[in-house]
Structure 1
């Protein structure tokens, strides 16, 4: 939606990108900040809203990133900013573990209602996605009395010690940071485009490998949790083949293993369902959420079966900032916007509008090997023409061309060769069409 407080919803190239004021700030950044903090697009943002980011040089940049799937309702939705202002005027912090407040309980109630399944649920709130994943493991280990955690190849779960161990890619996420947490076991991801015996065998063979590792190599009685992203995010927006997730869930249930859906990037409407596991008819034991949950404020959650959530004794979960009252207020605003404005359906409309245009790029000799995704979580895998060899340099060149033309896109993928599209669900369609025009031209320009 567009309001008078939001920037004009059109692309404006006032200067080269990055412009002179952003370049000045980059010099200061280099002097003041640690080198380990990377940058995708070296511009400093002055304001944002809808589908537009306005930098300090006055460039209006079309946003196809949403702060990595965070600002699904836009970066300044009135329902979010109004609630933030009202709550900040009352109090900014008490620590819910010390004195309580309604917002924490209200967010938990909303997640208990929205997450898949009609079983009794409970929720615990935290601050970051990695923190939510780590606490899901703590809960699963306590509930089962088992130590092992099983994750997929190409997975990304965070940057804490445990979640680094759960994450597949070494550089930049793990290199030099070891030793990592033990009792994490990796199974092959059913990556249809790259499955050795072909995409039609991916589900069956990947599940067989998982079952062997869980039941024979690790021992099912030692496994506390199997953790999956219903669509893998940083790994390349990999959509699992039909039936795979359901088979994994059933195996977990058979052996008393907690099935955890990491919906941090996929959840809350992004894929055209409130939660991505709903596409496969999967009801997880635990669901982790963050990113889009609070419209840009730091908030995360673990929601799941009441009997599992209650396994941890009082005091075992929490954190100083967990469920901060201002972040909770923002979440209530974001959830209100998602539901009242029909943004889950709008994600499906974005897919219907964009995916066919991207599919036209998959032709003989193209640098685009595959397009994939669901809802407003779409991707192109770039390859050396005529092969399936990953082409990260081509992906980088396409992204840079888009940035020069005022369209923010992101790279991802284990091999760095995937361009991912995560537009705000509120982006005007004419703006979205224009952004795809720029992307298509950039791809055709590097052939």
Structure 2
């Protein structure tokens, strides 16, 4: 089960060779999170080129809510592959994209007539949501939050609230992007603090009449899985309404059932004007979208939105398979149950006060996380401990991901389809690595 290490001569493994080949051909800017090369995967498990088995609590960074190669998803994909793989949605459209758009409209927590656009990546979805907001309002500026992650393109990097590694060396960034604190109670940032920051921002830096949109992740992803309360989101909605600003919900990581609802905004009962979706939308195939009020979505002129691979037919077929799997297997309910199981286990581990100290534990449905701190009962972030824990877990056969502005947060994103015995096995490994570090 041990992860491979660098070896020489007769002891060199296939992984050693692949790591060397990778270093020779890929930009070092594309980091490799772990020294494991996948050979095959199924549901919640991955086997590497050495035949080692790993339990996957990372889900390809929240892409695999339905697990690796879900049978329903793959059936739809194979059926589509036998028909056509690409025509360009804007040149020769096709039924799977229309059906998917209809389903997205039906499930989006936005009242009234709605419309959709499809693209390929989450960053594209965010950029296009901003384009739509600007076209609809005639305004230019955007407000985002500290710790936000919205993508790696130039505009979305400007919107992202973490410098290293995402923004380092890549500036200057587009202007007209403003930032306020995300409310994190246990770090001393209240909702009142955030709205006080809005007040000063509107007085000192930007006229709200120039703001097209406020973009928020209802649960921050890369920023640390911090959860915006229903009360905060309601106040944010009211602020937008007061100033004629559009509210955009970035649901790229929260969306498609991760939190126990199709979209996390449903927990608060707050309607955005526009929302973005990607990641688990298509179960491992590249697909993203923007969903919004029809009058807003129709603001751009014909041809103003699109992309060569936007709404690829194979990815659309996969997304229809994802929706079918959720509906037939009760995956929204399983997300809630998974979150309860994980949070209960983490709290029990924390109470032991052994090994690596655990700080705040949080989650919304199956979107769960915990912080590692420097001392039991303390709150000082310990990013080195989080990094060491990920390596320790990998050596024991469990893949986990870290996140957070300081890198101290461990996020758990096991497929919602994970077998109960495998979930328990993974949590057992996590507990062992926390309580008795190697």
Same fold (TM over 0.5): yes
Q: Give ranges in structure 2 of 5+ residues lacking alignment.
A: 6-11
C-alpha displacement of 1:322: 0.5
> Hey, what does 1:162 align to over in structure 2?
155
CA distance in 2, matches of 1:402, 1:193: 27
CA distance in 1, matches of 2:203, 2:320: 42
Residue correspondence of structure 1 range 340-419 to structure 2 within 5 A: 340-363=328-351, 367-385=357-375, 386-419=377-410
CA distance in 1, matches of 2:305, 2:254: 24
Alignment partner of 2:267 out of 269, 275, 279 = 279
Task: Give secondary structure in 1 for the equivalent of 2:82.
Answer: helix
C-alpha displacement of 1:434: 1.1
> Hey, what does 2:239 align to over in structure 1?
251
Tell whether 2:334 aligns with 1:324. no
Counterparts in 2 of 1:262 and 1:215: CA distance versus 1, 3 Å: farther
C-alpha displacement of 1:89: 1.7
Q: Is the 8 A contact 1:407 1:438 kept in 2?
A: yes
Residue correspondence of structure 1 range 132-171 to structure 2 within 5 A: 132-171=125-164
CA distance in 1, matches of 2:167, 2:3: 35
Structure 1 residues 58-84: Cα deviation after superposition (integer angstroms, max 9, x where no partner)? 111100011011011111011111111
C-alpha displacement of 1:105: 1.0
Residue correspondence of structure 1 range 24-43 to structure 2 within 5 A: 24-43=17-36
> Hey, what does 1:85 align to over in structure 2?
78
Q: Give ranges in structure 1 of 5+ residues lacking alignment.
A: 1-12, 197-201
Q: Is the 8 A contact 1:17 1:406 kept in 2?
A: no
Alignment partner of 1:304 out of 292, 298, 314 = 292
CA distance in 2, matches of 1:306, 1:357: 44
CA distance in 2, matches of 1:214, 1:344: 39
CA distance in 2, matches of 1:212, 1:445: 48
Structure 1 residues 203-261: Cα deviation after superposition (integer angstroms, max 9, x where no partner)? 22222322442466311111000000000000011112341111101111221111000
> Hey, what does 1:9 align to over in structure 2?
none
Task: Give secondary structure in 2 for the equivalent of 1:361.
Answer: helix
Q: Is the 8 A contact 1:93 1:324 kept in 2?
A: yes
CA distance in 2, matches of 1:143, 1:361: 50
Residue correspondence of structure 1 range 5-20 to structure 2 within 5 A: 13=1, 16-17=3-4, 20=13
Task: Give secondary structure in 2 for the equivalent of 1:243.
Answer: helix
**Please, which moves more after superposition, 272-281 or 361-370?**
361-370
Q: Is the 8 A contact 2:110 2:293 kept in 1?
A: no
Q: Is the 8 A contact 2:43 2:69 kept in 1?
A: yes
Alignment partner of 1:443 out of 414, 434, 438 = 434
C-alpha displacement of 1:313: 0.7
RMSD: 1.6
CA distance in 2, matches of 1:263, 1:242: 15
CA distance in 2, matches of 1:441, 1:298: 35
- Count of residue correspondences: 429
CA distance in 1, matches of 2:204, 2:103: 40
Tell whether 2:256 aligns with 1:265. no
